[in-house]
Amino acid sequence: MDGFLNLNKPQNFTSHDCVAKLRKILKTKKIGHGGTLDPLATGVLPIAIGKATRLLQFLPTGKAYQAKIRFGIVTTTDDLEGDIIKKTSAFDLTLEKITPYLQDFIGKIQQTPPAYSAIKKEGKKLYELARKGEIIDIPKREVEITKIDILDWVNGEFPELDLQVFCGSGTYIRSIARDLGEKLGTGATLSALNRTLSCGMIIENSLDFEDITSQKKTSDFKLINLDYPLENLSMINLNEDESKRWCQGQKIVINNNVDNQFYRTYNYLCEFIGISELKMDENIKLIKPKVVIN
C-alpha cells in the first residue's frame, strides 16, 4: 500500500491522532502526514502511506485557509483552546476600519509564532515551555502571504471576520489573528480554522474517516498515485540503459536544459521510479538518485 491520501481532519483531533486512527483503519504502520494542523482546525491533512512517506519533503508548499477571527478576546494560545487573558467589547469595530490593516500582512513579512506552538527552542517545543509558565523570547521568522480575501463579517459585541488566506509553509494563522487585533487595539483570537489547500491537495477532494472506512468495506478505496502530488517538480524521462544505471545509484549525464534541484523521474516504460537531484561536475550536468521508489 503505497500512495497519498487527502484526509479531511476533524476537529479535536491532533495530526498524530489522525495517523494513529488511519493505521488501524488501513492496517498498515508506515504512515506520515504532510503538515501539522492544530486540534481546533479542520480540513486538508495530506497523508503519506508506505513509500510515499519518502516523498513528503518534495510536495508543493502552498497552503490556503478559511479563518474566523473573533475580536475583543485575547487568549494564551491565540485561539479558543487557550485561557482568556482579556475580554473587551469591540461593538464599535467595523469592517471599514479593519480592511486597510489587512494589507500589512501581504507579502514576505516577519511573524512571531504563538507561544503555544510546536516550534523548538534549545531542543524544547515552545508549548512545553509555555505550559511550565516560562517566559519565552520567541524569535520572529519570515513567512509569505500571497493573498487575503474577506469572506464575511458579523457585527456584535465580539464581532467576527471570515478570511481566506493563501500563504507559504510555516505561516501561523493564529498569529495573523493576534496581530490584527493588536493593530486595531481591540485584541483578537482565532475562533475557527479550515485548511482548504495543502501539498497540492484541495478540500473538495478530501475524505473523512467515515468515507475511508466505507470505501474500504466496498473495496472502492484507492490511494493517490505516488507521483500525482509532485507535479510541482519538472519531469525527466530516462531510456532503458539510463533507467537501469539510475536505479543502481549511478549518475547520469543530462544534456537537457535543466536547472532545478529535484526532478520527477520516469523510466523507459514511463513508470515513476523516484526523485533525481541535479549535480554539477565541472561544466557537466548530472542527475543522481535522491529517492528510488522502484
| Catalytic residue numbers, as ranges | 38
* HSE (side-chain half, CA atoms, 13 Å) at 8: 13
Q: Report whether 242 contacts 230 (CB < 8 A).
A: no
Quick one: angle between helices 15-26 and 209-217, nearest 10? 10
Q: Which residues pair with 32 in a beta bridge?
A: 48
Residues 6+ apart with CB under 8 A from 175: 78, 111, 112, 113, 114
Joined grid coordinates for residue 187: 485584541
Pick from 151, 150, 165, 179: which is nearest to 107 by CA? 165
How far, in Å, CA of 187 to CA of 2, rounded? 46
Residues 6+ apart with CB under 8 A from 218: none
How far, in Å, CA of 222 to CA of 211, rounded? 12
